[in-house]
Amino acid sequence: MSKLTASSFNLRDRFGDWWDVATPVQKGAFRVAIIGLFYALPLINNPIIDTPETSFDSVLFYPLIMFSLMAVGLNVVVGKSGILDLGYVAFFAIGAYTHALMSIHTALNLWEIIPFAMGFAMLAGVILGLPALRLRGDYLAIITLGFGEIVRIIAINTDAIGGAMGITDIPGPTSIFGIEFTVMDPRPFYWLTLTLLLLVIWGVIRLSHRKPGRAWEAIREDEDVAEFMGVSTLKYKLWAFIIGGAVGGLAGSIYASQIRSIQPELFTLNLSIMILACVVFGGMGNIWGVILGAVLLGYIPEKLRFLSDYRIIFFGLLMVVMMNIRPNGLLPRKKREHFQEKSK
């Protein structure tokens, strides 16, 4: 058993060693290659990676890149700050409904609606967070679980926003930079979401390496001590909720603009659990691990479609096995330590 623990897998350390000594040109080339590969994914058309039954292009958009975006958002809350949020789907739903309603009832297009979608999701984060974040652990998790359900149930029971039937004929995005967004072709939506995901990653990494990142980690490690060291824990927990919410709202608005019709049943607890699974499976607190988790958990069930109904059993088994082998996730959060001689 011990042979299977994380320490025996040191590809990551090898990469870290290389990264530490890599020249800026090498680092840049590596980044361009990885990002380029992701942009090229819809063009590859390789039978090995293609998914049976569902078109690979639509799998790339949902669940793959959508899960990734949401997992990165949820990771700020769960992985960075250590707050268990079981109702993340609520922010996704708020973003989706914001786009659906505003695009139908106003003259605004997706690009103009995105700030509203993110804004409303952030506001929801504040409304949920202010009372809930005074609690901790299990109690807080139950409140977030309730919040996710409340948003869905309100949507079902409010006829003005379509009730259980939801909203249909949602306008798609208008063309931008000469790129057309059509119902038939999910690829532009994939490229759009990938671009936004890169921006979100950039922002989250910036925050992680600075004062807010330290405050979040301190809260995760020991909330009382963080407070004794002058960290306003309520403020930073609230910020984690707001940023997580904004990313969820962003994802929701793009999702609604692609599938063109939404129903409350798209936003169930299952989706919250799924995104949380991406975060935990990939490696809580490590943005690359979380994305890897989202890509795999989005892709594997689609790849296993040939097993039809049994695929969920295999998927579940795979998760159980993986979590036993790597309980801290595929790429656990780990800082590279630097040792130096004692100076005297």
Q: Does 262 bind other proteins (CB under 8 A)?
A: no
One residue of 2, 21, 107, 339 binding other proteins per CB under 8 A = 339
Q: Does 343 bind other proteins (CB under 8 A)?
A: yes
Could you tell me the two tokens for 277?
């699974």
Residue 112: CB minimum distance to other proteins, A: 22
Say how many residues make up the chain. Answer: 344
Nearer to other proteins, 206 or 305 (CB): 206
Q: Do the beta carbons of residue 212 and residue 226 sit within 8 Å?
A: no
Nearer to other proteins, 215 or 330 (CB): 215
Rounded CA separation 69/175 (Å): 22
Q: Does 206 bind other proteins (CB under 8 A)?
A: yes
- In the region spanning residues 125 to 144, those forming contacts with other proteins, defined by CB under 8 A, are none
Q: Does 253 bind other proteins (CB under 8 A)?
A: no
Q: Do the beta carbons of residue 267 and residue 89 sit within 8 Å?
A: yes
Q: Which stretch binds other proteins (CB under 8 A): 99-107, 165-173, 228-236, 300-308?
A: 228-236
Q: Does 227 bind other proteins (CB under 8 A)?
A: yes
Residue 224: CB minimum distance to other proteins, A: 7
User: Omega before 63 cis (within 30°)?
Assistant: yes
Instruction: From residue 260, give the alpha-carbon distance in Å to each of 104, 170, 191, 253.
Output: 11, 5, 18, 11
One residue of 13, 112, 221, 265 binding other proteins per CB under 8 A = 221
Nearer to other proteins, 71 or 200 (CB): 200
Q: Does 217 bind other proteins (CB under 8 A)?
A: yes
Could you tell me the two tokens for 105?
């009832």
Rounded CA separation 296/39 (Å): 17
Could you tell me the two tokens for 21?
């000594």
Instruction: Provide CB contacts within 8 A for 6, sequence distance 6+.
Output: 326, 328, 332
Nearer to other proteins, 240 or 256 (CB): 240
Q: Which stretch binds other proteins (CB under 8 A): 100-108, 174-182, 212-220, 246-254?
A: 212-220
One residue of 45, 157, 175, 232 binding other proteins per CB under 8 A = 232
- In the region spanning residues 53 to 112, those forming contacts with other proteins, defined by CB under 8 A, are none
Nearer to other proteins, 177 or 339 (CB): 339
Q: Does 308 bind other proteins (CB under 8 A)?
A: no
**What is the separation, in whole angstroms, between the first and last Cα of the chain?**
43
DSSP conformation letters of 123-186: HHHHHHHHHHTTS-HHHHHHHHHHHHHHHHHHHHH-GGGTGGG-B-----PPPBTTB---SS--
- In the region spanning residues 319 to 338, those forming contacts with other proteins, defined by CB under 8 A, are 333, 335, 337-338
Q: Which residue has the tokens 């603009």?
A: 257
Binding residues (CB under 8 A) for other proteins: these are 203, 206-207, 210-212, 214-215, 217-218, 220-222, 224-233, 236, 239, 333, 335, 337-343
